[in-house]
Amino acid sequence: MALEHPVDATQTSAWKALQEHHDKLQHEGISLKRWFAENPDRVPSMTFDLNDLRFDFSKNLVTDETLSLLVQLAKDVHLEERRDAMLAGVHINTTEDRAVLHTALRRPADQVGTVMVDGQDAVADVHEVLSQIYAFAEKVRSGQWKGVTGKKIETVVNIGIGGSDLGPAMAYEALKPYADAGITARFVSNIDPNDIAEKTKGLDPETTMFIIVSKTFTTLETLTNAGEAKAWLLSGLEAQGAIDGSEAQAKEAIAKHFVAVSTALDKVEAFGIDPANAFGFWNWVGGRYSVDSAVGTILAVVLGPERFQDFLAGMHAMDHHFATAPLEQNVPVLMGLMNVWYVDFFKSYSHAVLPYNQYLSRFPAYLQQLTMESNGKSVRWDGTPVTCHTGEVFWGEPGTNGQHAFYQLLHQGTSMIPADFIAFVNTPNPARENGQDVQELFLGNFLAQTKALAFGKTPDEVRAEGTPEEIVPARVFQGNRPTTSIFGVSLTPFALGELIALYEHITFTEGTVWGIDSFDQWGVELGKQLAKQITPALSESDEALAEQDPSTQSLIEFYRENRVW
């Protein structure tokens, strides 16, 4: 059963022990160099191999004692009970009274019947929709599905925002080497008219398909962009003489060039999309946890059903580990607990995710929604205020680019920023330059950065290089900057699935310690409401203008004075 009231983590004996332990470590002086020297077992005991991924926690500011106290904290807040409740379909999303079952989306078909939610067999429902998606994807990939003029679809444009965009967009970038059907994807999310204008540039309406993705099918950005896409398609086809402007031909064109993904299939129909071309999902899937639902339809089209299945299998493998591994060896649990350690005991309020893989360039942006929309909360799941800091800022950029931009602050700034480094042994694009394997040049940097952050450089080492004394302080590296290394064999659909599920469960672990409902997002509502009130003031409603605060009024006046189109 879901717990009615969260345990206040700060009142547990584990929290108090962690505070004392932290003070003791600070007092003794934290030194990764010393910890490595004193404990030859540190690396093996803090390394975990899961399938094709190696996790090295040894460069974190933790000792064996820290980890066991953190595990005790997880036990004190009943992490395992809440995890099991989530996996079983209990309504742990209390403010929306919903089950939280993204893990059911990747349960294999032989688990049909294992998760009942509100009297429905969730896994059976999932596999029914997956079959529809796979059949659709095969038709588009093979060219059996044709545009209104009989041509094969060459570009699929995903229109969605937040969870209906970030997951598929990130995964498409990540898995581009697997896109093998000659179909490319584009992603429109922003209501800024520049977005759709640029993304439709150069496209031929005859060979373009739009997938309108919205869990609620009420999101202003997505419905506006979908309307614009409809107009773009119909006017383009008309201009080419492909359709004659009659309602019947417009309807046929929309049926051939628009599909939808939503939990609100009635609204899809009202929008003018044939319900036969719509794929459903359920309100027990949060938007930011939905890339593996029908929201990932574009991935099934571009990569093919088999790769999509591999992607789901990777997620399921991580779910299985999360559900069954003892907490002491549970990778997402330990990573979530270490994050709490840094946020609440070291007061490190930001966390970098640094993929050493260009294909993962959108991974940090994806994680920002996953982690910050989930845990950026000040009240707990029973409505009481949180009792400690929650919800660190996640951010990042691929290495090595970041090295030449913000790493200076990571190495020598006054804030300690824990970082996850993610790299893969193999590349689909091997290259040699000047007799040197370029992947090795790249990976050398990945390894060098975590080493520099951990072990630093002492004044004596700097002096030994002949540095003039007055410059020595500027060239010293304190070290003891914590990192986790995640080193994989190759960035496959399976590995990407594992990574996504890993961070989902890290987020859950942190949220549970903090007593947070990580599955609602009430904090996004006020801005939406106010935008509705303010927009009429831009278009000359003096009544709406008069209702605004002086700062908003002054900005609107600036807009009115300067608008030129």
* Residues 369-398 close enough to bind ligand F6P by CB under 6 A: 373
**Cα-based distances in Å from 165 to 185, 196, 206, 285, 291:** 12, 14, 24, 15, 9
Identity at 384, one-letter amino acid code:
T
User: How far apart are the C-alpha atoms of 506 and 31, rounded to whole Å?
Assistant: 26
Q: Which of 147, 162, 205, 236 binds ligand F6P (CB under 6 A)?
A: 162
SS3 36: helix
CB of 57 or CB of 366, closer to ligand F6P: 366
Min dist. Cβ of residue 214 to ligand F6P (A): 3
CB neighbours of residue 9 within 10 Å: 22
Active-site residue identified among 5, 38, 528, 557: 528
Identify whether 528 is a catalytic site residue. Answer: yes
Identify whether 404 is a catalytic site residue. Answer: yes
Q: Which stretch binds ligand F6P (CB under 6 A): 115-123, 155-163, 252-260, 531-539?
A: 155-163
CB of 230 or CB of 481, closer to ligand F6P: 230
Looking at residue 483, the DSSP 8-state letter turns out to be E
Min dist. Cβ of residue 286 to ligand F6P (A): 7
Min dist. Cβ of residue 335 to ligand F6P (A): 23
**How would DSSP label each residue in 517-543?**
-TT--GGGHHHHHHHHHHHHHHTT-HH
What are φ and ψ of residue 99, in 5° steps?
Answer: -70, 160
Q: Which of 92, 148, 161, 333 binds ligand F6P (CB under 6 A)?
A: 161
User: How far apart are the C-alpha atoms of 559 and 346, rounded to whole Å?
Assistant: 45
Where on the phi/psi map is residue 331: left (φ > 0), alpha (ψ -120 to 50), or beta?
alpha
Min dist. Cβ of residue 313 to ligand F6P (A): 24
Active-site residue identified among 206, 373, 498, 510: 373
Task: Output b/e per residue, 526-553; b: 16+ Cβ within 10 A.
Answer: eeeeeeeebeebeeeeeebbeebeeeee
Q: Considering the rule CB under 6 A, would residue 215 count as an interface residue with ligand F6P?
A: yes
CB of 109 or CB of 270, closer to ligand F6P: 270
Identify whether 373 is a catalytic site residue. Answer: yes
Min dist. Cβ of residue 135 to ligand F6P (A): 24
Question: CA 494 from chain center: how many Å?
Answer: 16
> For residues 526, 531, 537 and 543, what is the CA-based torsion angle, rounded to 10 degrees?
-30
Min dist. Cβ of residue 371 to ligand F6P (A): 13
Residue 433: Cβ-neighbour burial (10 angstroms; 0-12, 13-18, 19+): exposed
Q: Crossing angle of helices 193-200/220-239, nearest 10°?
A: 40
Q: How many residues bind ligand F6P (CB under 6 A)?
A: 14
CB of 206 or CB of 373, closer to ligand F6P: 373
* Residues 510-529 close enough to bind ligand F6P by CB under 6 A: 521, 524
Binding mask 273-302 for ligand F6P (x = CB under 6 A): --------------xx--------------
- What is the set of active-site residues? 373, 404, 528
Judged by the rule CB under 6 A, the positions of this chain that interact with ligand F6P are: 161-164, 214-216, 219, 222, 287-288, 373, 521, 524
